[in-house]
Amino acid sequence: MMGTKVLTTVGPEAWRNSTLKGIKLSQTIAQKSDKNCDIGRCFDPLPHLRDTVAQLSNDEIHRYTREVRGVVSRLRESLLETNEEIKSLTRGKEAIEKTLEHTRKDLKLNKDSQDIRLSRPAKEREHDGADDLLNAERSHLLNCKRALEAQLRSVQQQLHILDLARKRLFACLEERSRVLDLLCHTVSSAANGANTNVSTSTNHRSKSMMEGRISRLGASQADPLGPYTPEVDQALADASDARARSAYLRKELRDGIERTENLKQAAHKSVNDGLTQKVSETVTLKQHLGVTLGENRHAIHRAQRWYDATDKARSYSVGPVMSADLTTREKLDRPMVRIFQRHPGTQLPEAQQIIQGTDGLLQSLTATSRNIGLLRLSNLRLYDDIRTKSAASSIDSGIIRLRRRRSDHRWNLGEAF
């Protein structure tokens, strides 16, 4: 036992264990540190994290603004289309207002024509075909006026709807454009950039391509927090519906104005033709009346000559006014008669025959005088009829000239005759 050496520690065991424990703890910490360094090498951000994050944020902002720019281009083009539609519908409104004004003038002309015809002589105021044509024209014009007023109200309502759609588009455009202050690209480049699958467009793009570009994306693609919001989708949808309704209304306006013009022209022509025919008939009757008046005067002259001849014959039959003027051969007691009457029963009917002849001539004179009076009365009636026919034809001719003069509607409703 003395030959064997036993190594023993001099320091206390607790002191040694404390040192070993420190060594192990240091080794463990070193391993964890190396492991953390390895993990950091894999997962820790690089030193240019700030620049990278800023770049990513800028890319996200750029993507969002490009999409918003595409939406803004759709809104802007829809706004332009709406403005053009409002201009077109406003021109249609002006056209229908002009047509309505012409219709009111035609109604005034119709009323003036009827009022002027009332100034005809009493014998010529009997209801005729021209009055029927004027009444029919007035009925057609009133129907056209009511239809045009209804269309005008529809146009005004549609203009109000288009104006509301334009205001809504403009509000959405301003709201969406708030994030585009730092972008200086044109709308055409923005629209082309939004569609990456579409090649560069030419200067003359078709209408279908334009409508496809400004059409709404659909409610399924609307995102309250995205570039294409439901408000934008609804604004585009309302504007598109309003423009479609306006286009249909403009077509109805064109057709309605064309129908109204054709109807008014046909009614105006029929009235003018009827008045012209009435004037022609009146002039024809006036000419016949003139011929009849001449024949009547000729008959008066013949009857007057016959009256004068009959009166002279009656004067001859009655004899002179004074008996002293009678010749011997004209006396009823002339010598030949006195000698003849010496025998009984020899009465001569000379006196009775003279009296009868004188009475017959007197009756003839009375009848002839009555006929002359009737002829003169007929002459006055014919002359009065000619005068009324002249006045009636003059009034109707004036109406025709008035209607032709005012057919271009270049006169005011308050214009005097």
> Are 96 and 151 a contacting pair, CB within 8 Å?
yes
More confident position, 204 or 317: 317
C-alpha–C-alpha distance, residues 82 and 215, integer Å: 13
pLDDT above 80 for 75: yes
Q: Which residues contact 268 (CB under 8 A, 6 or more apart)?
A: 106, 137, 403, 407
Please work out, in degrees rounded to the nearest 5, the angle formed at the alpha carbon of residue 210 by the alpha carbons of 204 and 212: 140
Per-residue DSSP letter, 138 = H
Predicted TM-score (pTM) of the model is 0.72
Confidence of residue 154 (pLDDT cuts 50, 70, 90): very high
Of the chain, the percentage scoring pLDDT greater than 90 comes to 51
Q: What is the CATH number of domain 63-192+223-279?
A: 1.20.1260.80
Question: How far is it, in rounded angstroms, from Cα 222 to Cα 217?
Answer: 8
Averaged pLDDT score across all residues of the chain: 83
| End-to-end CA, the chain | 163
What are residue 128's phi and psi, to 5 degrees? -135, -175
Per the structure block, which two tokens stand in for 10? 């001099």
Any idea where the domains of the chain sit in the sequence?
A: 63-192+223-279, 288-320+328-403
Question: Cα Rg for the chain, rounded, in angstroms?
Answer: 60
Q: What helix, strand, coil percent values describe the chain, rounded to 5?
A: 80, 0, 20
Question: Is the model's pLDDT at 86 over the cut of 50?
Answer: yes
What integer pLDDT is reported at residue 24 of this predicted model?
Answer: 87
Quote the CA–CA distance of 169 and 212 in Å, as a whole number.
18
Q: At residue 252, what is the residue type?
A: E
How far CA 363 is from CA of 137, 222, 307, 366, 367, in Å, comes to 60, 117, 11, 5, 6
Instruction: Give residue-wise pLDDT tens across range 217-263.
Output: 666 677 788 888 899 999 999 999 999 999 999 999 999 999 999 99
Output the pLDDT for position 91: 95
**415 to 28, 98, 405: CA distances (angstroms):** 115, 18, 13
What is the spatial distance between Cα 280 and Cα 272, in angstroms, rounded to a whole number? 12
Q: Which residues of 264-293 are buried (b: 16+ CB within 10 A; e: fewer)?
A: beebbeebbebbeebbeebbeebeebeeeb
* Mean of pLDDT values over 398-412: 91
Q: Give yes or no for residue 182 having a pLDDT over 90.
A: no
Q: Indicate the pLDDT class of residue 325, thresholds 50, 70 and 90.
A: low
Contact 93, 166 (CB under 8 A): no
pLDDT tens profile 97-144 = 999 999 999 999 999 999 999 999 888 888 999 999 999 999 999 999
Give the residue among 173, 109, 113 at the shortest CA–CA distance from 141: 109
74: nearest Cα among 195, 178, 225:
195
What are the backbone dihedrals phi and psi of residue 275, each rounded to the nearest 5 degrees, phi first? -65, -40
Model confidence at 74, pLDDT cuts 50, 70, 90, reads: very high
At 252, list the tokens: 């109805």
Give the CA-trace dihedral at 46, 47, 51, 57, to 10 degrees: 40
* Residues whose CB falls within 8 Å of the CB of residue 104, separated by 6 or more in sequence, listed in order: 145, 413
Least confident of 36-50, 120-134, 157-171: 36-50
Lowest mean pLDDT among 151-155, 179-183, 242-246, 341-345: 341-345
